[in-house]
Amino acid sequence: MIAVELSFGQLKDAVKKLSPSEKLELSDAIWAEDMNIMSLIGS
C-alpha cells in the first residue's frame, strides 16, 4: 500500500477530473453500508 497525503481541496480537484461513471463508482463505494473507509484506502 502507498500512503498519499492530500488536502481536502486537492481531493476535490481530483474528483472533478473523474468521468461521470467514475464519480458514480466512487459515490457507491463511499456510501455502501458494508464499506469501511479504510478498505477504500487500501484498494
For the segment 1-43, what is each residue's pLDDT rounded down to a tens digit? 688 888 989 989 999 999 999 999 988 888 877 766 666 665 5
Asked whether residue 5 is assigned to any structural domain, the reply reads: no
Q: What is the pLDDT of residue 31?
A: 84
What is the extent of the structural domain holding 37? 19-43
Asked whether residue 27 is assigned to any structural domain, the reply reads: yes
Number of domains, the chain: 1
Asked whether residue 14 is assigned to any structural domain, the reply reads: no
Q: What is the pLDDT of residue 35?
A: 64
Is residue 2 within 8 Å of 43, Cβ to Cβ?
Answer: no
Asked whether residue 2 is assigned to any structural domain, the reply reads: no
Q: What is the pLDDT of residue 22?
A: 95
